[in-house]
């Protein structure tokens, strides 16, 4: 197990190095000269030159990459070029808002999709067919449609929720998060239901299920003790692979409902060529993806008896 973990961590290191190289390359390839952007519209050539030195962008590209990678590894993300704020502080300020949207929304979506998928498989009747139809319908709309109509109808026309706003208090923010969470669920529940349904359908046809019924177990015991346990692996894989995106946020929901989260922070940074912020968020995102991939491998080993530690 230890040698497996060691190998995965070494791989992760090189993946991470690749991410930094790619981010750095893309930034310099397509983002334009940040000095010209931050120097302002009336800057003189002397000011541009001075600013280039101040920002360390007069150094050779390789030397800039070394500084960039060193900062990425040491967590020294410096200050934002646009807002002149500490990048780590900007992330800390935003991550709470994002997680308070994505964790409940994702949790609710997961529970709902598991429950409905299980129910549909268990009933195997008109409900299953109706659910498949509704899911296909929901999947045919873009996320933006859910947001625009959700906000217009539920918040504006029916006044069930606030149209927009945010309260940093942990007790009062939920009023503003209820509708975004609901929209998130509506937009994301359908593919999960269909996925889990097919996983459960696959398991229900296995020999061990027939054997369990033959032994005289009740349907609920068969579902809870056997089917769910065996279906856990693909479910865990889906969940762990999506956790990093909970941290990186939901850009559209944040923009439409005024949630000061990570998604908006990243968008602003990309639009404004704010390298320190882009660097920090890319590093954070890739670290999370790498960590959860490793976790996924470990959990797969634990849940699937057919797999052995190499």
Partner 1 sequence: MFHRGLLFLFGLFLLSCTPRFSPTDSTFYSYVRENIHTLDPIHTHDLFSHQMSAQVYEALYHFHYLKRPLQIEPLLASELPTISKDGRTYTIPLKKNIYFHEHAAFANPQKRLFVAEDFIYSIKRLADPKSRSESYWVVENKIEGLDEWRALKAQGLVDESTPISGLRALTPHTLQIRLKRPNYQFLQNLTMAATSVVPREVVEHEGPQFGNKAVGTGAFKLQQWIRGSQLIFVKNHRYNTLVYPQEGTDEDQREGHLEDAGKKLPLVDRLVIYEIPEPQPQWLLFLKGDLDVLQPHKDHQDHFIQSGKLRPEAAKKGYVLELPASADVAYIGLNTENPFLKLKKVRQAFSMVFDRSFSVEKFYNFLATPAHGPIPPGLEGYEAHRQSIATHYNLDLARKTLAEAGFPGGEGLPEFNYEMPSSHPVARQMSEFFKNQLALIGVKVRLNANTWPQFNDKVKKKKADIFDQAWNADYPDPENFFQLFYSKNISPGPNASNFNNPRFDSLYEKSLRLPSGPERRAVYGEMETLIMDECPWIFNVHRQRPLIKQPWLKNHKFEVMIADTMKYYSIQSEQRAQLKKERL
Task: Examine residue 127 and tell whether it contacts partner 1 (CB under 8 A).
Answer: no
Give dist(CA 159, CA 171) in Å, integer.
21
- Can you read off the two tokens belonging to residue 273? 């060529």
Task: Examine residue 40 and tell whether it contacts partner 1 (CB under 8 A).
Answer: yes
Binding mask 177-216 for partner 1 (x = CB under 8 A): -x--------------------------------------
Task: Examine residue 58 and tell whether it contacts partner 1 (CB under 8 A).
Answer: no
- Residue 259 CB neighbour total at 10 angstroms: 26
Residue 13: DSSP 8-state:
H
- Residue 258 CB neighbour total at 10 angstroms: 16
DSSP states along 248-293: H--HHHHHHHT---HHHHHHHHHHTT-HHHHHHHHHHHHHHHHHHH
Phi, psi of 140 (to 5 degrees): -80, -10
Q: Please identify which residue in 20, 23, 230, 273 interacts with partner 1, judged by CB under 8 A.
A: 273
Q: Which stretch binds partner 1 (CB under 8 A): 9-17, 89-97, 120-128, 214-222?
A: 89-97
Q: Which stretch binds partner 1 (CB under 8 A): 5-13, 132-140, 206-214, 267-275?
A: 267-275
Task: Examine residue 30 and tell whether it contacts partner 1 (CB under 8 A).
Answer: yes
Q: Which of residues 217-256 bind partner 1 (CB under 8 A)?
A: 254-256
Task: Examine residue 41 and tell whether it contacts partner 1 (CB under 8 A).
Answer: yes
Task: Examine residue 38 and tell whether it contacts partner 1 (CB under 8 A).
Answer: yes
Instruction: Between 35 and 118, name the residue whose CB sits nearer to partner 1.
Output: 35
Report the length, in residues, of the chain: 310
Give dist(CA 41, CA 4) in Å, integer.
55
Instruction: Between 48 and 204, name the residue whose CB sits nearer to partner 1.
Output: 48
Give dist(CA 269, CA 37) in Å, integer.
13
# residues near partner 1 by CB under 8 A: 62
Task: Examine residue 32 and tell whether it contacts partner 1 (CB under 8 A).
Answer: yes
Helix (H) or strand (E) holding 25: helix 2-30
Task: Examine residue 96 and tell whether it contacts partner 1 (CB under 8 A).
Answer: no
Q: Please identify which residue in 3, 14, 42, 171 interacts with partner 1, judged by CB under 8 A.
A: 42
Give dist(CA 8, CA 19) in Å, integer.
16
Task: Examine residue 280 and tell whether it contacts partner 1 (CB under 8 A).
Answer: no
Instruction: Between 99 and 178, name the residue whose CB sits nearer to partner 1.
Output: 178
Tell me the three state secondary structure of residue 44: coil
CA angle, residues 262, 263, 268, in degrees to nearest 5: 95
Footprint on this chain of partner 1 (rule: CB under 8 A): 30-34, 36-45, 47-48, 50-51, 53-55, 79, 82-86, 90, 93-94, 148, 151-152, 155-156, 159-166, 168, 175, 178, 254-261, 264-265, 268, 270-273
């Amino acid at each position: 197990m230890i040698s497996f973990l060691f190998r995965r961590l070494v791989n992760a290191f090189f993946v991470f190095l690749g991410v930094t190289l790619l981010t750095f390359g893309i930034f310099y390839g397509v983002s334009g000269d940040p000095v010209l952007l931050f120097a302002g519209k009336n800057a003189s050539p002397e000011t541009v030159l001075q600013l280039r030195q101040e920002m360390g962008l007069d150094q050779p590209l390789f030397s800039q990459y070394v500084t960039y990678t060193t900062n990425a590894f040491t967590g020294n993300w410096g200050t934002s070029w646009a807002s002149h704020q500490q990048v780590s502080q900007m992330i800390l300020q935003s991550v709470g808002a994002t997680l308070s949207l994505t964790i409940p929304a994702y949790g609710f979506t997961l529970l709902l999709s598991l429950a409905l998928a299980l129910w549909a498989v268990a009933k195997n009747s008109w409900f299953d067919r109706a659910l498949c139809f509704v899911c296909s319908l929901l999947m045919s709309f873009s996320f933006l449609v859910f947001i625009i109509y959700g906000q217009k109808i539920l918040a504006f026309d029916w006044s069930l929720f606030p149209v927009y706003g945010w309260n940093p208090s942990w007790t009062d923010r939920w009023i503003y998060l209820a509708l975004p969470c609901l929209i998130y669920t509506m937009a994301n529940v359908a593919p999960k239901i269909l996925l889990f349904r097919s996983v459960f359908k696959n398991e229900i046809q296995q020999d061990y299920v027939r054997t369990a019924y033959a032994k005289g177990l009740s349907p609920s015991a068969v579902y809870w003790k056997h089917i769910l346990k065996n279906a856990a692996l693909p479910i865990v894989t889906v969940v762990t692979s999506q956790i990093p995106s909970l941290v990186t946020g939901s850009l559209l929901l944040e923009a439409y409902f005024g949630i000061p989260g990570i998604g908006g922070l990243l968008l602003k940074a990309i639009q404004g060529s704010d390298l320190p912020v882009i660097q920090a968020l890319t590093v954070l995102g890739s670290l999370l993806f790498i960590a959860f991939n490793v976790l996924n491998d470990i959990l797969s080993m634990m849940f699937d008896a057919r797999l052995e530690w190499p």
